[in-house]
Structure 1
Amino acid sequence: MITFITGKKGSGKTKKLIERANAAVAASNGNVVVVEKGLKLTYDVDHAARLVDIEAYGIKGADALFGFISGICAGNYDVTDILVDSTLKIMGPDLQQLVPFAEKMSALAAMANTNITFLISADNAEIPDEVRKFVNEI
């Protein structure tokens, strides 16, 4: 299952991500991965979660992000949850990219039996209709 947490900058999305990551660590019998741009969540997310600084890998664009997350799932079958902060900073600002991206990510999440959450810095009204079923608005 995939989820897009949407809201304008400063609306509390990152706080929600931290809460979800820590809850996932507490409930998971596998691994929880938090993908972030920079190392700003080091002291907020439970140490049992794997923090990944995506900037260290040069990932830019929707296809690169999809490939990166696919690699995480392929490299460790015990990943139960993946949470991605700053999604649009990684993918780029074009919200229409979310349509094919959501389709591919939803299929990957189902195949890998992994919950994947993305933080999207945009108002819910700006999100394309085709992906609203994945939206959890702040």
Structure 2
Amino acid sequence: MIQVFCNKRGSGKTKELISLANRNVLTEKGNSVFIDDDSRCMLQLDKKIRFISTSELELMSYDSMYGFLCGIISEDYDIENIYIDGLCNIVNCEIEDAAHLLYRLEELADRLGINVYISINHENETPDFIKKYNKYELVAN
């Protein structure tokens, strides 16, 4: 399953993603991985959640991001949840280019029984290809 939090900067996506990860780790049987482009939120996460900062990994395309995620999954077959904070910050591409990655991730997640939660900063209306993954809208405080 894939769930996307797509909204404007400052709307609470990161806070919600961290909260979701910390809630899920209490009841899940598998492992969790939280991926971010920096390490600002690392100390807010439960210590059971593996944190990965991509700041020095140079993930330049959605294909490299997909390969990176496949590597993480192949290293740990017990992964149940993957949280990706700020996809467009990690992979410096346009949001429209993310459609192919989301479709590929959906197939992979469904086949392997993994939940993938992704936050995306987007200032305009949510693109149609993301709406099917956007379970609920976050409202800025």
Give the C-alpha shift of residue 57 in structure 1: 2.3
Q: How does 1:50-89 map to 2 (within 5 A)?
A: 50-89=50-89
Give the C-alpha shift of residue 104 in structure 1: 0.4
Instruction: Give the Cα separation in 1 of the matches to 2:60 and 2:32.
Output: 22
Instruction: Give the Cα separation in 1 of the matches to 2:124 and 2:113.
Output: 27
Matched pairs, number: 137
Give the C-alpha shift of residue 56 in structure 1: 3.1
Runs of 4+, deviation exceeding 4 Å:
none
Instruction: Give the Cα separation in 2 of the matches to 1:103 and 1:130.
Output: 9
Q: Give the TM-score normalised by the residue count of structure 1.
A: 0.92
Q: Give the TM-score normalised by the residue count of structure 2.
A: 0.90
Q: Percent identity of the aligned residues?
A: 28
Contact 1:124–1:137 (Cα < 8 Å) also in 2? no
RMSD (CA atoms): 1.4
Give the C-alpha shift of residue 128 in structure 1: 2.4
In structure 2, stretches of 5+ residues that fail to align are none
Secondary structure (helix, strand or coil) at the match of 1:81 reads: strand
Contact 1:39–1:53 (Cα < 8 Å) also in 2? yes
Give the C-alpha shift of residue 137 in structure 1: 2.1
Give the C-alpha shift of residue 96 in structure 1: 1.1
In structure 1, stretches of 5+ residues that fail to align are none
Give the C-alpha shift of residue 107 in structure 1: 0.6
**Greater fraction of residues in helix:** 1
